[in-house]
Structure 1
Amino acid sequence: MRIGLDATPLLGQRSGVGRYVAGLVAGLQQLPEAPEVLLTLFSIRGSVPVASSATVRPAPRRAPARLLRRTWAHTRFPPAELLTGRVAVFHGTNFVAPPTARAGRLVTVHDLAYLRYPQTVTGDAEHYARLVPRALDGGAHVLAVTHAMAEEIRDEYGLPADRVHVAAHGVDPEWSAATPATPGQLAALGLPPEYHLFTGNLEPRKNLGMLVAAHRAARRSDPGVPPLVLVGPAGWGDRWQGAEPDPADVVLAGYLPDEDLRSVVAGATSVCMPSHYEGFGLPVLEALAAGRPVLASDIPAHREVAGGQAQLLDPADPDCWASALGNPASAPGDTGSRRAHAAGFTWSISASAHLRAYEDAAQDR
């Protein structure tokens, strides 16, 4: 089977979607009957940062996303096959499924933040409320990253169960082997020797204002509570929601390369994920793979992904977060049980689920 796959999220600094696409491509190559994958860029800049192999190579042509979105919003031209050549299925990995001439279509809808929290999205995400329904009306199948997300998508768009597939993310094996950064490495990164940690885009949906306020309260009660480190690129909007971080308590570390990120996570007192809403919550899984205590918002995706190995907290209750930050040892599990749970999420398992979705979408073209 030949698959066209949107590899645009691999360009630039890797976000959660970029990590998903990289892991998926690696997992597909591990399958006994690996499909042929054409990595397609909806960009005229950059190049595919994945080595070609017997089953993976760049698509022969590319085009800019901004121009394509304008035309796809109103027409079915140009079809994806103009970029890929003949394929059985085109997989839109990041909410957008381009029209096709004959190929089946699969689109990964990571979450419905563009509908549930429209005030928190910007840029490309502002177009999803129009482009996702257009793809679904055209017969595209949907890939959801959790069962909770699949149910939400089916309910929102009235889709039959056989058009919505579930494939959980995997976690890169390097996470389970990660070791804490040394004092010298932490100093070079501008980080304190002990710290609570958040990783992800600094954006309103992540509920960072609540986390900052809860951490401040915890430090008032016990000055021995470690500082809070926020790792990730600056997002958009009012990400602090009125609770501006105090540089004495909170370190803004910016974006870290994967190797540094893994070592920083591996040494964290706790990893915090207080989001109002997530489709999956990959930092939760990565932290568990590294064996660290996890404090996460009590939302459907986190309940599913954490599997009882994280302390789930009301995202609207800073008092309970302050208490947890003061006593991270109360988080469920231990290093072994957290790693054992995360080991059940691999990219080869995810790729197998994707392949079944590709086969169904190809039959439905």
Structure 2
Amino acid sequence: MSRLLVAFDTRLSPRPSGVGIYTRDLLAALAARPELQVVAVASPQQPLPEGVERLATEIAFDAHGPAEYFEHVALPRQLAARKVELLHGPNTIVPAGRTPFARVVTIHDVAFARYGQTLTPAFRMLMRTRTRASLALADAAVAVSSFTADELRALYPRLATRVIALPSGTPEGALRHVRDPNRATARARELGLEPGRFLCAIGTLEPRKNLPTLLQAFAQAAIPGVKLALIGDRGWREGPLREALSRMPSDSVVLTGWLDTEQVYDLIASSAGLAYPSLYEGFGFPPLEALALGVNVACADLPPIRESCDGQVRLIGPLDLPGWVEALRWLVSSGPRPPWVGRRFSDVASELVEVYRVAVEGWSSRRKASR
């Protein structure tokens, strides 16, 4: 059987978060599939897995006007010239109009509908429009968890048959991370943290991450000699977070800012535990990263966390303040745990091959019928 020629839009932010991890690790897993020949839409500088062809562009994913022309006009023409059979957009975007190839899109969450108050009005409207349009255009829409798939089907019942649940896997970087105690200790101490004497929380500093609740619980837990590290880039609507920080004891909380992947893994591995109090997630990588690194996790009790972590984490209601106080104390006292790995990105890629084939066959049949 001939290999399917698939394009994968890998353009990433210079500071990739969860979507960037998904894109990077899924591309590597797809490149290893013998059934596929992969063309990556990427910047000239972006590293690519061996065997992946590059369709180079300097147009960034978030370049607005230039990006829209590239995604909906220039890119389809270039892919048609290469006789690509399918394009996968891993970040909620596929080209509009009729295309000479099938389209698959990944949708990560519907926060714009469920927790729209945590987003800026402009971004909420953008994601609402983009999600509905891509779902209508795509031959198949991959949801990163069964929960997100159910959310999409409930919001768009007429398009429900296009939605396929393919839960994500543990980030490969966490699985390959080589512990170096000296390096990890040095990195922690550069930030004013002592190995084993701090808790960490990971994510962009934005309202959906529910960090004010975590800060209040940490203050009430009053664990002697233990700090809290908030690891993540600046976000939006930070007023409640800044107010909560102003009430914290001096030097008890460290804001690290954005860190690269290896720095993050060093901090997780040298911490006393990970707290993940989000109000809403479509999936959620940090708990899986911590589990792979042998670190205990206290998580908000959310459907995608229950699905992906399979009973390996302590679950607390997102707004259950006494529960979080108890959970933080438990993290500090529990010590290390054996590493645990659930689903892998190789599993996702294996299942995605069949999604691609069905999408191409369906697109081809519809194209013939319309002639």
TM-score range, shorter chain: 0.7 to 0.9
CA distance in 2, matches of 1:355, 1:235: 35
1:58 aligns with 2:54: yes
**How much has 1:306 moved relative to structure 2?**
1.3
SS of the residue corresponding to residue 114 of structure 1 reads helix
Residue matched to 2:136: 137
Task: Give the residue type in structure 1 aligned to 2:229.
Answer: V
CA distance in 2, matches of 1:218, 1:203: 23
- Deviations along 1:288-326, one digit per CA (max 9) or x if unpaired, are 101111000001111111110000001011121011111
User: Alpha carbons of 1:125 and 1:53: their partners in 2 closer, same or farther (altered >3 Å)?
Assistant: farther
Task: Give the residue type in structure 2 aligned to 1:237.
Answer: R
**How much has 1:102 moved relative to structure 2?**
2.1
**How much has 1:171 moved relative to structure 2?**
2.4
SS of the residue corresponding to residue 243 of structure 1 reads helix
- Deviations along 1:188-231, one digit per CA (max 9) or x if unpaired, are 24333310101111111000011011101111xx435x110011
**How much has 1:244 moved relative to structure 2?**
2.2
CA distance in 2, matches of 1:291, 1:240: 32
Contact 1:95 1:107 in 2 (8 A): yes
Contact 2:203 2:233 in 1 (8 A): yes
Task: Give the residue type in structure 2 aligned to 1:359.
Answer: R
CA distance in 2, matches of 1:203, 1:239: 10
Please list every run of 5 or more consecutive structure 1 residues that lacks an aligned counterpart in the other structure. Answer: none
CA distance in 2, matches of 1:52, 1:143: 22
Stretch moving more, 167-176 or 275-284: 167-176
SS of the residue corresponding to residue 233 of structure 1 reads coil
- Deviations along 1:267-290, one digit per CA (max 9) or x if unpaired, are 111101100000111001111101
- Deviations along 1:142-192, one digit per CA (max 9) or x if unpaired, are 101111111111111115664222222222444245435543332124333
Residue matched to 1:103: 101
**How much has 1:334 moved relative to structure 2?**
6.9
Task: Give the residue type in structure 1 aligned to 2:275.
Answer: C
Contact 1:199 1:232 in 2 (8 A): yes
Query: What is the TM-score of this pair, normalised by structure 2?
Result: 0.85
- Deviations along 1:250-271, one digit per CA (max 9) or x if unpaired, are 1001111111211111111110
SS of the residue corresponding to residue 274 of structure 2 reads strand
1:201 aligns with 2:199: no
Contact 1:166 1:353 in 2 (8 A): no
Give 1:349's match in structure 2, choosing from 344, 347, 350.
347
Contact 2:201 2:229 in 1 (8 A): yes
CA distance in 1, matches of 2:72, 2:34: 35
CA distance in 1, matches of 2:331, 2:317: 16
Please list every run of 5 or more consecutive structure 2 residues that lacks an aligned counterpart in the other structure. Answer: 364-371
CA distance in 2, matches of 1:125, 1:50: 32
Residue matched to 1:118: 116
SS of the residue corresponding to residue 283 of structure 2 reads coil
* 1:17-32 mapped onto 2 (5 Å cutoff): 17-32=19-34
1:211 aligns with 2:209: no
Task: Give the residue type in structure 2 aligned to 1:82.
Answer: R
Q: Higher helix proportion, which one?
A: 2
Contact 2:297 2:314 in 1 (8 A): yes
* 1:229-244 mapped onto 2 (5 Å cutoff): 229-238=229-238, 240-241=240-241, 242-244=243-245
User: Alpha carbons of 1:125 and 1:141: their partners in 2 closer, same or farther (altered >3 Å)?
Assistant: farther
CA distance in 1, matches of 2:251, 2:9: 42
Residue matched to 1:81: 76
Percent identical across equivalent pairs? 31
Stretch moving more, 173-182 or 197-206: 173-182
- Deviations along 1:48-101, one digit per CA (max 9) or x if unpaired, are 5123633x12225565641267679xxx95274224333211111111122252
CA distance in 1, matches of 2:251, 2:5: 54
Contact 1:281 1:302 in 2 (8 A): yes
Give 1:16's match in structure 2, choosing from 15, 18, 39.
18
**How much has 1:358 moved relative to structure 2?**
1.5
Stretch moving more, 107-116 or 161-170: 161-170
* 1:183-202 mapped onto 2 (5 Å cutoff): 183-193=185-195, 194-202=197-205
Contact 2:104 2:138 in 1 (8 A): no
Residue matched to 1:37: 38
Contact 1:60 1:84 in 2 (8 A): no
User: Alpha carbons of 1:189 and 1:81: their partners in 2 closer, same or farther (altered >3 Å)?
Assistant: same
Task: Give the residue type in structure 2 aligned to 1:78.
Answer: V
User: Alpha carbons of 1:107 and 1:18: their partners in 2 closer, same or farther (altered >3 Å)?
Assistant: same
Task: Give the residue type in structure 2 aligned to 1:223.
Answer: P
Contact 1:284 1:306 in 2 (8 A): yes
SS of the residue corresponding to residue 73 of structure 2 reads coil
CA distance in 2, matches of 1:87, 1:13: 29
User: Alpha carbons of 1:103 and 1:126: their partners in 2 closer, same or farther (altered >3 Å)?
Assistant: same
Give 1:295's match in structure 2, choosing from 298, 307, 310.
298
